[in-house]
Every structure is written in C-alpha cells, then in structure tokens.
Amino acid sequence: MTLTAPSTYKALTEQEAIRLAQSLDVFASSATLQCEEIGDGNLNYVFRITDSATGHGLIIKQALPYAKVVGESWPLTLHRATIEANALKLHGSLAKGRVPEVYATDAALAVTVMEDLSQLTILRNGLIDGKHYPKLAEHIGSYLAHTLFHTSDFGLHPFEKKRLAAEFSNPELCKITEDLIFTDPFFDHDTNDFEEPLREAAQAIWDNEPLKFEVAKLKRSFLTEAEALLHGDLHTGSIFVDEDDTKVIDPEFAFYGPIGFDIGLFLANLIVQAITRSGEERELIVQDITQTWQVFEQQFSGLWESDGIETYKTTTGYREYAIEKIFHDAIGFAGCELIRRTIGLAHVRDLDDIADESTRIDRKRQTLKAGETLIQTRREYQSIKQLETAIKELSK
Amino acid sequence: MTLTAPSTYKALTEQEAIRLAQSLDVFASSATLQCEEIGDGNLNYVFRITDSATGHGLIIKQALPYAKVVGESWPLTLHRATIEANALKLHGSLAKGRVPEVYATDAALAVTVMEDLSQLTILRNGLIDGKHYPKLAEHIGSYLAHTLFHTSDFGLHPFEKKRLAAEFSNPELCKITEDLIFTDPFFDHDTNDFEEPLREAAQAIWDNEPLKFEVAKLKRSFLTEAEALLHGDLHTGSIFVDEDDTKVIDPEFAFYGPIGFDIGLFLANLIVQAITRSGEERELIVQDITQTWQVFEQQFSGLWESDGIETYKTTTGYREYAIEKIFHDAIGFAGCELIRRTIGLAHVRDLDDIADESTRIDRKRQTLKAGETLIQTRREYQSIKQLETAIKELSK
C-alpha cells in the first residue's frame, strides 16, 4: 500500500491523519472516520483512526523530531520510524503473529500505518493491576527464539546478516541506551533521578568498583557484539497482551547487538513485578521468567538443529556454549535494567506508583540489590532453576 | 586531486594508465612516462608509472572484478577498491607515515592512485631472504595501537564509530576469511591444499573436537565483535620495509572486527619465520614478536590514558581486562592463521619454498602443532614473556 503524503516532514494534525488513512485501501470510501491521538506525546504521535460504523480501525504512528523527558527536549532522528517499521516487518515475518501488521510506511513523514491493537492491554499496566497472562511466557520465549536465531550468524547467510546490520545501524537510539542503562546510573550523573532515601544505596553503587567493572564489560558487549537484530527496548511497556494474544511493539531501538539484551530487559521487568508482588501472585511471575527462558532455549536449540547454517553447529559443546553465553549476558543485562529503572532517568510505574513511601523505598532498595547481585554473580548460574531460586530469594 | 576517467568500469591498459597519470598534477606536462604492470594479476592490476627523466613515480592500483586462485576464477566485488582507499586514508591519518599516501581514487574504475614504494621490499620476501628489520616491531606495534585504539569505542564517539562500521561493511571479503581461515582448514573441505605426507596431521585436526570448539569461538568473535577498523589481512606480504621504514599496504579486507585479529595475523606470520629459522636468526624474530606486542600494549595503554573517552576507563581492572582480551584473541587468531597457511587454500612461500621435502614437511608439521597449541592454550598466557617462551619451544 502507498500513502498519499507530503514529501517533507510535518507533524500531522488529527484531520491530516484522517486524510492519510482515507488514502489507503482500508476503509470504505463512504466511511465516517474518527481520530484520537493516544500517544504520550514525548516521542511520537499515535493516532487511532476508527470507522464509526464498524468500529474497525488502524494506527498511524508518527515520530516527532525530538524527545521530551522530564520537561527537557532534545532533537532525535526521524530515521527511527524507518528502523521501527522495517524491524516490525522483519520480526513479524520471523515470529508469526507476535508483531502488529504494518500496512504502509512513509519515511519522509516518519509515519508507520499499522494494525490497531486497542483490544489488548499494555503488559506493564495489566501486571500492575495484578493480572497474569497464561500465554505470555510461551509467546515471548518463542518470539525471542525466532527473531534472534534467524537474524544471527547461526541462521542467516553472512551477506544478508551484514546487509541488515548496516541497514539497522541506529547510533542515536543506541547512545540513549549506552548512557541511560550502562553508564549514567553507575556514576553520580545529573540524568539520574531517585528519591532521597535511596541516596546511600546509589552512592554504594557508584563506589562499587567490582560492580562497575562488570557493567563496563556488559556495556562493551552492547557496543561491539553484533549478534542478532534486537528489538532493543523489550520492556513490559513494549508488549500488548490479553489472555490469548501477545504482540511486541515499538522496536525503534532495533539494531544488531548481543542476543541476551532483549531477553535480559524482558526478564528484568518481570523481576520488578516479582519484587512488588507476594505469595502466589509472585510465584506466577517467577514461573513466567523460568518458562520464558525455557521456551527460548528449547526453540533456539530446535532452530539450531533444523535451520542452523554454521559449519560448527555439530561441534561438541558449541551449542551449549552459545546458549550459556546468551544466558549469562541476559542475567547481566537484566541487572543493569533493574538498577537504571530505580535510580536512572527512566523509571517504571511498577515501583513509582507504590503509594506507601516506606514500602516503595524498600522495594526500590530490593530492586537495586537484585540488580547488583545479578550483574556480579551472572556467570555462576548453571541453569534456569538456579536463577529461579535466586530470583525468589531476591524478590522476597 | 580528481581523475579524468570513464564513468563505468573497464580494465585499464598500460596506455590508459599512463593517460590517467597524466591527468593528475603530479608529473610535468612534458614528462615522458613509462608504465609497468607489477601486480600478480590474480586480484588487481598494479601499474607503476615512472617519469623517465626524474625516476619519480606513482602506483595505480585497479581492482579486477574477479579473483583467480589456483586456476579458479570467481566474481569479487569492485567495492573493495573503495574500502581499501578509504582504509588507507583513515589509517594513514591515525598512524602517520605507516601507510602509503593516497593521491586520488575513482570508485567506478575501482582505482587508487598512491605513493610508489618501489624502493622498499615486501617484508615476506626480505624475511625469506634472511633479513632482519630493526624498526619493524616498533613501527607495526605503533601502527596497530594507533589505528585500532582510535577506531574503537575506547577512543571514538559512538556516532562516528557506527558510521564507520556501516561504511566499512565488507561482506564478500569477510566471507573469504570466514571460509579460508576459520572454517575450511578445520574440515575435510575441497578448498584445502596440502602435501600428502601431511594428511595424517590434517585428519587429526579435523577429528580434534576440543580444537574445533575453540576455533568456533574465534570464528564467532570474527563474525560478531565490531571492536575496531581492522586492516583485515595483516600478513607479511601486506607490509613494505627497509632498514628505516615500514609501510602497511593492501587493506582491502578492512572491516569492523576484533582488535586481536590484526595482531594475531602479523604475529603468526612471524612465528612461521621463527619456525623456518634457527639460532640467532630465530632469536631476532622471536624478539620482534615480543617487541611488537610490548609496543602495542604500551602505546594502546598510553592512548587509553591520554585520549580515552570511555566513562569506565579508570574503573579498576578494566584497561587490563580489555588488553588481556586482545592478547588472548590475538594468540587464538594467530593459531588459526598458522593452520590455514599450512593446509588451507592460501599458502606462504616461507614454508612452500623450502626445497628439501623432509625439512619442509617437518616445518609444516611444526606449524600445525604451533597453531593447535596456541588456539587451545591461548587463555593460559599471562604475559608476553610466557608466550615468548612457548613460541621458542614450538619453533625449535
């Protein structure tokens, strides 16, 4: 499908979004279309266009040429819209049903027209409301296995892999991650944001040289290891769910990076939930963590057998080595995510919305502690069951 | 300088090479120019254009659209001429005096016009003739430190690093290395080429699962670790020398890869020399190996202090960790190079030109053994002095 659109960038109005939707072969020409802007306005416009008669709709997402965070505004490449649309299309072709369908794109307008997922809930919101999603672990484990295996050298010809690595070069958005996940929270940096009672814990992190040495290694991995085409920002706010369905959205941070990064970010956001829950509710989340890894490992191993193109794929120990590296990387990256979501620039509602101050500070201290532990002990875990035991202990 | 050249590719004749040289502001318009094609004709034309009166000259190197190896011919991207010219310019700006000056380039013709280095000798030829070059280790150690540090995340802003990584994406030439250094020699592959008395040693390599497991890890590093802009083919045939000067040529394999790869290839080609020499002559080469690493380590560390931009650069242990990784990678890559130069497709004259069959086979067996040992024990070396002792033992 092609869009009838101006050839230079301008931020769309709701009326222009409707006209843009009308130019596609989606709605009847007689349809009365309604438009609602449902984005948070910090990075993107998200217009939902609905046919009033049928209720049928679509999403027009437009990147804004700046990012707004805590009142500050800085320029941010519009190219991220192209990265996001291309990652949605590629990952969608590899992990069927796990990604919204893309109907049309326009690079100049930084616009992606895609499937409306309004019937689903943002996973983070559902989890904060105490929900549990029985298909989540299976769906995300499978999404991770398929998208990461098939874009890695284990499953993709090196010509195509290197073409994709160059196409998905994403310096500006990678820099955000480099700074906000791997650097600033580990130094007394002015982007950090935390409640005063956490200062002592933050200072302890800044003073912890062995911890920072491990984070330096993880950052180096993020900077240099072009293993697979990552989503790049796979937290629970990037996933739509209901009882039966799971869709991964917003891959604007997509780039070629270490496989464990996507896994680690997802697991970290579940660990935050484990920390804020108790009893059986916590147990369900811990089981999701275990099952996500198990599904990933099983399907990644299966693809290695069935679709692997690496000549060394049957060399004794190599598959186990590759998977163990992913496992240990994921645990380390999860630790970084836990720390940055607590004292870094970008927080999570799971923790910030805990009303009682004493409980909130306790949970945040626990999150920091869990992060430090996972980073420093990541290579000691020999199985997901060992990690599960540790997470249960850390989230108690 | 710009070239007056046709806008589509055609292989140059000597007359056309002269006309191309005349179009540059290098020779007097009255000069009588002579042309000699001095390439081996397998991958490139190399025309030397000389002013008969002054003896002053330049080189016109033109990539051919195919590679010829052992009678076979296969298509090979002309883009490698652009990669080579851009790598020469960038590395030349970082390691002053260590790279020939580039006067002009033409992407369509796949031509690079550069400094004539005919007064120098190809290092491999000089070494085979028993020569020793007193400045070699200092010059190459320094070249490696400067080119690799300043193109890595330790010394270069991530925007510029990622721009260069995409610009130097070099899938076709990387694939040659992936196959010929990391894969084919470790399997009974039809590109392999060795004398029959070596079959048992070759078979032992193909059957050595622990060795192949280590090579799989080294190949993975080559495929995924975008640490710095490498030369990519730094053997002793890619270096011009005399008593006082050293110039690195032919970076057509340049790409973003693991820092240890350039170092390992260079050291491996010196190790071959150590194996073919004896007594004091061997000692000189072993000292070159040690000194190259020492100069690299010292200057890389110095640049880390003076020019490092990584926030973690003063974190306890990080610099030592980064340098140790490079050291162990280099030893492993050296091992792969030793094996592929003995039983793989592309041999070295250092070994093949040994006239006496029994001596030649012995030296080749020793080279294979050295390669296996270095690959399998690479992480055990804690210092260059330990490696020096091992190399002395392996080359005896």
Q: Is the dihedral of CA B313, B314, B315, B316 positive or negative?
A: positive
pLDDT at B71: 59
Q: For residue A167, give the chain B residue with the closest CA.
A: B166
At A101, which amino acid appears? E
Query: Which of B58 and B66 is assigned the larger pLDDT?
Result: B58
Instruction: Consult the annotation and say whether B320 binds a ligand.
Output: no
User: DSSP labels for A159-224?
Assistant: HHHHHHHHHT--HHHHHHHIIIIIIGGGTT-TT----GGGHHHHHHHHT-HHHHHHHHHHHHHHHH
**Shortest Cα distance from A178 to chain B (angstroms)?**
9
pTM of the model: 0.96
Q: For residue B325, give the chain A residue with the closest CA.
A: A217
**Shortest Cα distance from A393 to chain B (angstroms)?**
30
> Would you state the structure tokens that stand for residue B91, as one six-digit string?
């590395």
- Chain A residues whose C-beta sits inside 8 Å of any chain B C-beta: 153, 158-159, 162-163, 165-166, 169-172, 174-175, 178, 183, 187, 209-210, 212-213, 215-217, 219-220, 223-227, 310-312, 315-318, 321-322
Instruction: Consult the annotation and say whether A277 binds a ligand.
Output: no
pLDDT at B69: 64
Cβ distance A220 to B317 less than 8 Å, yes or no, reads: no
Q: Tell me which chain B residues have a C-beta less than 8 angstroms from the C-beta of A315.
A: 209, 212-213, 216
Cβ distance A158 to B169 less than 8 Å, yes or no, reads: no
Residue that is written with structure tokens 């059986």 in the block: A280
How many CB pairs below 8 A link A and B? 101
Q: For residue B219, give the chain A residue with the closest CA.
A: A312
> Would you state the structure tokens that stand for residue A234, as one six-digit string?
């796979």
- Judging by beta carbons within 10 Å of its beta carbon (0-12, 13-18, 19+), is residue A22 exposed, middle or buried? middle
> Would you state the structure tokens that stand for residue B163, as one six-digit string?
């721009």
> Would you state the structure tokens that stand for residue A171, as one six-digit string?
């310096």
Q: Tell me which chain A residues have a C-beta less than 8 angstroms from the C-beta of B156.
A: none
Identify which of A370, A367, A364, A379 has the alpha carbon closest to the alpha carbon of residue A221.
Answer: A379
pLDDT at A319: 98
Q: In the predicted model, what is the mean pLDDT of chain A?
A: 96
Cβ distance A315 to B213 less than 8 Å, yes or no, reads: yes
Q: Tell me which chain A residues have a C-beta less than 8 angstroms from the C-beta of B159.
A: 171-172, 175
Cβ distance A316 to B213 less than 8 Å, yes or no, reads: yes
pLDDT at B213: 98
Q: For residue A172, give the chain B residue with the closest CA.
A: B159
pLDDT at A42: 78
**Shortest Cα distance from A181 to chain B (angstroms)?**
13
Query: Which of A40 and B9 is assigned the larger pLDDT?
Result: B9
Q: What is the mean pLDDT of the segment spanning A47-69? A: 91
Q: Kindly report, residue by residue over B311-365, the tens digit of the pLDDT.
A: 999 999 999 999 999 999 999 999 999 999 999 999 999 999 999 999 999 999 9
pLDDT at B42: 78
Instruction: Consult the annotation and say whether B250 binds a ligand.
Output: yes
B181 and B345 Cβ atoms separated by less than 8 Å: no
Identify which of B369, B186, B387, B184 has the alpha carbon closest to the alpha carbon of residue B293.
Answer: B387
A56 and A62 Cβ atoms separated by less than 8 Å: no
Cβ distance A216 to B312 less than 8 Å, yes or no, reads: yes
Q: What is the mean pLDDT of the segment spanning A279-307? A: 98
Instruction: Consult the annotation and say whether B340 binds a ligand.
Output: yes
A98 and A245 Cβ atoms separated by less than 8 Å: no
Identify which of B31, B20, B183 has the alpha carbon closest to the alpha carbon of residue B109.
Answer: B20
Identify which of B275, B295, B262 has the alpha carbon closest to the alpha carbon of residue B366.
Answer: B275
Using DSSP's 3-state secondary structure scheme, residue A1 falls into: coil
Cβ distance A153 to B312 less than 8 Å, yes or no, reads: no
pLDDT at A356: 98
**Shortest Cα distance from A226 to chain B (angstroms)?**
5
pLDDT band at A5 (very low <50, low <70, confident <90, very high): low
**Shortest Cα distance from A387 to chain B (angstroms)?**
25
pLDDT band at A17 (very low <50, low <70, confident <90, very high): very high
What are the residues facing B105 on neighbouring strands? Answer: B112
C-alpha torsion A348→A354→A360→A366, nearest 10? -50
Q: Kindly report, residue by residue over B221-234, the tens digit of the pLDDT.
A: 999 999 999 999 99
pLDDT at A4: 57
The distance between the two most distant Cα atoms of chain B, rounded to a whole number of Å, is 66
Cβ distance A162 to B153 less than 8 Å, yes or no, reads: no
The sheet that has B239-241: what strands, in order across it?
B121-122, B239-241, B246-248
pLDDT at B26: 86
Q: Which domains does chain B have, with CATH numbers?
A: 14-115 (3.30.200.20), 121-395 (3.90.1200.10)
Q: E strands within A84-169?
A: 102-106, 111-115, 121-122
pLDDT band at A119 (very low <50, low <70, confident <90, very high): very high
pLDDT at B177: 98
pLDDT at A14: 95
Interface confidence (ipTM) of the complex = 0.96
pLDDT band at A6 (very low <50, low <70, confident <90, very high): low
Residue B40 has pLDDT above 90, yes or no: no
pLDDT at A1: 53
Cβ distance B316 to A178 less than 8 Å, yes or no, reads: no
Using DSSP's 3-state secondary structure scheme, residue B104 falls into: strand
Q: Kindly report, residue by residue over A296-320, the tens digit of the pLDDT.
A: 999 999 999 999 999 999 999 999 9
Residue B1 has pLDDT above 70, yes or no: no
pLDDT band at B214 (very low <50, low <70, confident <90, very high): very high
**Shortest Cα distance from A213 to chain B (angstroms)?**
6
Q: What is the mean pLDDT of the segment spanning A287-304? A: 98
Q: For residue B183, give the chain A residue with the closest CA.
A: A311
pLDDT at A197: 98
Q: In the predicted model, what is the mean pLDDT of chain B?
A: 95
How many other CB atoms sit within 10 Å of the CB of residue B123? Answer: 26
Cβ distance B163 to A171 less than 8 Å, yes or no, reads: yes
Using DSSP's 3-state secondary structure scheme, residue A330 falls into: helix
At B334, which amino acid appears? A
pLDDT band at B219 (very low <50, low <70, confident <90, very high): very high
Distance CA B125, CA B145 (A): 25
Which residue in B153, B217, B316 is closest to A223 by CB distance? Answer: B153
Instruction: Consult the annotation and say whether B199 binds a ligand.
Output: no
Q: Tell me which chain B residues have a C-beta less than 8 angstroms from the C-beta of A213.
A: 312, 315-318, 321
Instruction: Consult the annotation and say whether A153 binds a ligand.
Output: no
Residue A325 has pLDDT above 70, yes or no: yes
Cβ distance A225 to B225 less than 8 Å, yes or no, reads: yes
Q: Which of A66-75, B35-44, B177-186 has the highest mean pLDDT?
A: B177-186
Q: What is the mean pLDDT of the segment spanning A106-127? A: 96
A93 and A101 Cβ atoms separated by less than 8 Å: no
> Would you state the structure tokens that stand for residue A40, as one six-digit string?
């948070």
B48 and B36 Cβ atoms separated by less than 8 Å: yes
Contacts of B339 (CB under 8 A, 6+ apart): B185, B186, B205, B367, B368, B371, B372, B375
Q: What are phi and psi of A37, to 5 degrees?
A: -90, 115
Using DSSP's 3-state secondary structure scheme, residue A304 falls into: helix
DSSP state of B52: T
Q: What is the mean pLDDT of the segment spanning A361-383? A: 98
Distance CA A161, CA A167 (A): 10
Residue B244 has pLDDT above 90, yes or no: yes
Q: Kindly report, residue by residue over A203-216, the tens digit of the pLDDT.
A: 999 999 999 999 99
> Would you state the structure tokens that stand for residue B134, as one six-digit string?
């007193």
Substitution target in A174, A224, A379 with the highest count of B β-carbons within 10 Å is A224
Residue A181 backbone zone (phi > 0: left; psi -120 to 50: alpha; other: beta): alpha
Cβ distance A175 to B159 less than 8 Å, yes or no, reads: yes
pLDDT at A40: 75
- Judging by beta carbons within 10 Å of its beta carbon (0-12, 13-18, 19+), is residue A382 exposed, middle or buried? exposed
Which residue in B158, B169, B226 is closest to A178 by CB distance? Answer: B158
**Shortest Cα distance from B359 to chain A (angstroms)?**
33
Identify which of B8, B382, B224, B186 has the alpha carbon closest to the alpha carbon of residue A221.
Answer: B224
Using DSSP's 3-state secondary structure scheme, residue A120 falls into: coil
Cβ distance A312 to B216 less than 8 Å, yes or no, reads: yes
> Would you state the structure tokens that stand for residue A8, as one six-digit string?
């230079």
Query: Which of B30 and B256 is assigned the larger pLDDT?
Result: B256
Q: Tell me what percent of the residues of chain A surpass a pLDDT of 70.
A: 97
Cβ distance B187 to A311 less than 8 Å, yes or no, reads: yes
Find the length of chain B. Answer: 396
Q: For residue B318, give the chain A residue with the closest CA.
A: A213
Q: What share of chain A is helix, strand, coil (3-state, %, to 5)?
A: 55, 15, 30
**Shortest Cα distance from A151 to chain B (angstroms)?**
12
Instruction: Consult the annotation and say whether A362 binds a ligand.
Output: no
User: DSSP labels for A255-277?
Assistant: EEE-THHHHHHHHHHHHHHHHH-
Cβ distance B209 to A163 less than 8 Å, yes or no, reads: no
Distance CA B388, CA B275 (A): 13
Distance CA B265, CA B336 (A): 9
- Judging by beta carbons within 10 Å of its beta carbon (0-12, 13-18, 19+), is residue B197 exposed, middle or buried? middle
**Shortest Cα distance from B124 to chain A (angstroms)?**
31
- Chain B residues whose C-beta sits inside 8 Å of any chain A C-beta: 153, 158-159, 162-163, 165-166, 169-172, 174-175, 178, 183, 187, 209-210, 212-213, 215-217, 219-220, 223-227, 310-312, 315-318, 321-322
pLDDT at A66: 87
Cβ distance A312 to B212 less than 8 Å, yes or no, reads: yes
Helix locations, chain B, DSSP H: 14-22, 79-94, 123-128, 136-150, 158-167, 171-180, 199-206, 209-224, 260-276, 279-307, 318-343, 349-352, 357-377, 384-395
